[in-house]
Chain A
């Protein structure tokens, strides 16, 4: 559906994108993951035809984004990082404008009605965009991308700046859209791609460092993981008991205390899931486990792991 080949983008002497290639198949929800400044927005802007690449090609359903630009652009709905809203228009006027701008041939009133229902903006249709909350603005931005029913929808950081409830709503919306569209979701939030996407492409410093199914990547990242455990019980005995569990290579007691509970950082050996053993051991001793959370799954860690991995592969 979208074929990206050897994409290079230089700003002056700096490489924003350094030879990127990947293909997105029809019906996939692909997460495009990377820290700020990795080249995500640049890639999205090139794929949508807003920027031209220094070299390399983007082909959308057989149509080159530069040579056959108008045909290719018709297939893509795009929500840029900052929703492109004319704030002095009402939502209805704005969507009417986008409908005409895209030269749609569908039944206008019906199509816009449907999109407003999907994005839940029916109640604000007559309001000026500048008076809407950030969440509503974002949804109007999504509505704009959906107009004309493009088979491919590209979201660039769609949940930035939203409150937790709005984030969940937007994610659900994207997940639902993924049932009928090919979706590319660019983000720097790992949990977002984990919850929404079925494939993850990771980009760092203008290079692709991983391109895998979500399950596989999650597995790669979770191996040899450290956990933060909160146990109600005497600190010294608990520490010793934890050390005896096979598969645990390191236990460290922190000076954090919550009533009679202490916090420990527990590290398991590679490829061993220590969580069940942890629970059984503590339950047998009647030391209630009050909390268990994985540590070190932030994006920085993942990049270090992924770049290490590719580095090792090359070295072999």
Chain B
């Protein structure tokens, strides 16, 4: 498992994927944090994290597009599947590699908070408003967990196709749909369907974190989504052998 993890992480940097991912995400996160806080004369990070959530849906598919589709296309998966490594370990190795890349980005983007603390923002009444540390920490944890489930979904899609481009587009479609549930939900009249769709909504659960509420239910939800899609990816490989 360690060998697969190491090779996968390395491959992000021998191809352009890793650099593109790091560059785009760090640039966007920095720009958005600046625009929503300092330039807006507020230290509230609520808007920032909501925008980060939307951006993740667009850039995390880049991270996972290759994981299995490329191996399938170049037949290198034959090496992995005939090596004495179990399928769950193979999938986990790849999942953890993508997750590591993502954690690196989130940790690096935390440097952006330094100016938030050093340039103390004054509101209209000239009283200082220090950034809310608990709110930032809570939201960061939530962002990490949401990313975990996005990566699991992306990896699952990648295991279904040989085409990286298809993997990106389909993953983005699924993630966008999960985010948009909240918007569409306003138009649905049946309360029962609204309730069910609400349960799937990533946005609703995330919203609480941006107000500084730590929602343990959401935590479990994000972890479950990750677990389910990692499990489904494993099943894809197990069932493919029988086809």
List the interface of chain A (C-beta within 8 A of B): 11, 45, 48-52, 54, 69-71, 73-74, 76, 78, 80, 82, 84-89, 93, 97-98, 100-103, 144
Contact = CB atoms under 8 A, between A and B. Distances in A.
B189 interface: no
B188 interface: no
Contact of B7 (A51, A74, A86): A86
A97 B241 contact: no
Given A11-B243, A86-B11, A103-B85, 9 more contacts: A49-B81, A50-B78, A50-B241, A52-B242, A80-B75, A84-B78, A84-B79, A101-B3, A101-B83
Size class of B's contact patch?
Answer: 20 to 34
Contacts of B15: 88
Interface of B: 2-4, 6-7, 10-11, 14-15, 74-86, 241-243
A93 B13 CA distance: 14
A97 B7 contact: yes
A84 B75 contact: yes
Contacts, number: 69
Nearest to B15: A88
Nearest to B83: A101
A74 B15 CA distance: 31
Contacts of A101: 3-4, 79-80, 83, 85
Which of A49, A80, A86, A103 has the most chain B CB atoms inside 10 A of its CB? A86
Given A86-B11, A88-B11, A98 B79 contact: yes
A80 B78 contact: yes
Nearest to A74: B84
Contact of B84 (A51, A73, A80, A97): A73
Contacts of A76: 82
A31 to B, nearest CB: 21
A144 B79 contact: yes
Contacts of B77: 84
B135 to A, nearest CB: 42
In order of increasing CB-CB distance, the 4 nearest A-B pairs are A100-B3, A84-B79, A52-B241, A101-B3
23 contacts: A45-B78, A48-B82, A50-B81, A52-B241, A70-B84, A73-B82, A73-B83, A73-B84, A78-B78, A78-B82, A85-B74, A85-B76, A86-B11, A88-B15, A89-B10, A89-B14, A98-B79, A101-B3, A101-B79, A101-B80, A101-B83, A101-B85, A144-B79
A93 B77 CA distance: 17
Nearest to A83: B75
Contacts of B84: 70-71, 73-74, 102-103
A44 to B, nearest CB: 10
Contacts of B80: 101
Nearest to A48: B82
A84 B7 CA distance: 14
B71 to A, nearest CB: 9
A29 to B, nearest CB: 20
Contacts of A11: 243
A257 B79 CA distance: 53
Contacts of A52: 241-242
A80 B78 CA distance: 8
A85 B76 CA distance: 6
Nearest to A84: B79
A132 to B, nearest CB: 15
Nearest to A103: B84
A84 B241 CA distance: 18
B72 to A, nearest CB: 11
Contacts of B76: 84-86
A51 B3 contact: no
Contacts of A74: 84
A74 B14 CA distance: 29
A202 to B, nearest CB: 25
Which of B7, B74, B79, B86 has the most chain A CB atoms inside 10 A of its CB? B79
A289 to B, nearest CB: 49
Nearest to A51: B241
B74 A87 contact: yes
B122 to A, nearest CB: 52
B8 to A, nearest CB: 10
A97 B81 contact: no
Which of B77, B81, B84, B242 has the most chain A CB atoms inside 10 A of its CB? B84
A70 B85 CA distance: 7
Nearest to B239: A52
A103 B84 CA distance: 8
Contacts of A71: 84
Contact of B2 (A49, A51, A100, A144): A100
